[in-house]
Copies of this chain bind each other. A is one copy, B any other.
């Protein structure tokens, strides 16, 4: 298990630059609700397919030499969509294994992008197992949703941009699922900045690992389960956490839904539950900044029925 160096992230950035967006940042004038601190949002939810996951998907596909004819991934959510999108753009066939709990609309979006969709009984873990079995008799490139060197390096390109765009930030707040995003963010920032991971109480993979002193399986449920609901934090993210993540906080589903409404009402941003958790941490006081603290808050996904976000 190797953690990406900054040079690996720079290499990934070069590879993916013609395919992903350098997403902008939005500086708030009055902060978030009554919370202390100056806040700048990184709007990575404006990426193609509506989440940061395209960074890692393109990075994985473009790191492979020679370019593969076929890619396989397991995901019921944003990573599957990102891989299907990246594969279609690069002329690569995609097989996506999804748990049967995935919403039909998400499966339809995968098919619209030309992916072969395999629906598997159970949850993400079962879909992942099935994809590995399938690939024993196929020659597809395997893309892991969060625990793979090139994928994590790709997600790190988001922090590389933020370091320039929000150069005075003291702290970055990041949602954590399997840890691909915070793994990349930590691999870039290292000790330069305070790094806070945020999860819902129903999806506490990083929080539980830090309490146990090692990655452990957790039962997941609740509002954010479709995007943050990995059963256990990835090995790369765990190593990044041990070295550079300063704090792990939890927020309730209620606070998360409140953050979604706040983001629509104050910024007209439709944000999915998992991606609204860093704002929930500020609104709920799960993270209490100093009054002069500059917070970089990563909004990483917008794959939500927009009709559910308005007050």
- Count A-side interface residues using an 8 Å CB cutoff: 31
Q: How far is the CA of A22 from the CA of B310 in the complex (A)?
A: 24
The residue in chain B whose Cβ has the minimal distance to the Cβ of A269 is: B46
Knowing A24-B26, A26-B24 are in contact, say whether A268-B19 is a contact too (CB < 8 A).
no
Indicate whether A21 sits within 8 Å of B28 (C-beta atoms), given known contacts A268-B50, A268-B302, A306-B307.
yes
Minimum CB–CB distance from A55 to chain B (whole Å) comes to 13
Q: A311 CA to B21 CA in the complex, in Å?
A: 22
Q: Does A267 have its Cβ within 8 Å of any Cβ on chain B?
A: yes
Q: So how many copies of this chain end up in the complex?
A: 2
- Interfacial chain B residues near A83, Cβ < 8 Å: none
Residue in B18, B25, B29, B45 whose CB lies within 8 Å of A29: B18
Interface residues of A in 1-60 (CB under 8 A from B): 18-29, 43, 45-46, 48, 50
CA distance A50 to B264 in the complex (A): 9
Nearest B residue (CB) for A23:
B26
How far apart are the CA atoms of A20 and B43 in the complex, in Å? Answer: 18
Given A48-B266, A266-B48, is A29 in contact with B24 using a C-beta cutoff of 8 Å?
no
For A19, list chain B residues within 8 Å (CB).
29
A198: interface (CB < 8 Å): no
What is the chain B residue whose CB lies nearest that of A45?
B268
Q: Does A270 contact B (CB under 8 A)?
A: yes
A45 to chain B, nearest CB (A): 6
Q: Nearest B residue to A28 by beta-carbon distance? A: B21
Please name 28 pairs of A and B residues whose Cβ atoms are closer than 8 Å in the assembled complex, sorted by A.
A18-B29, A19-B29, A20-B29, A21-B26, A21-B27, A21-B29, A22-B27, A23-B26, A24-B24, A24-B25, A24-B43, A26-B43, A26-B46, A29-B48, A45-B268, A46-B268, A46-B269, A264-B306, A268-B270, A268-B303, A270-B270, A270-B306, A305-B307, A305-B310, A306-B306, A306-B310, A307-B307, A307-B308
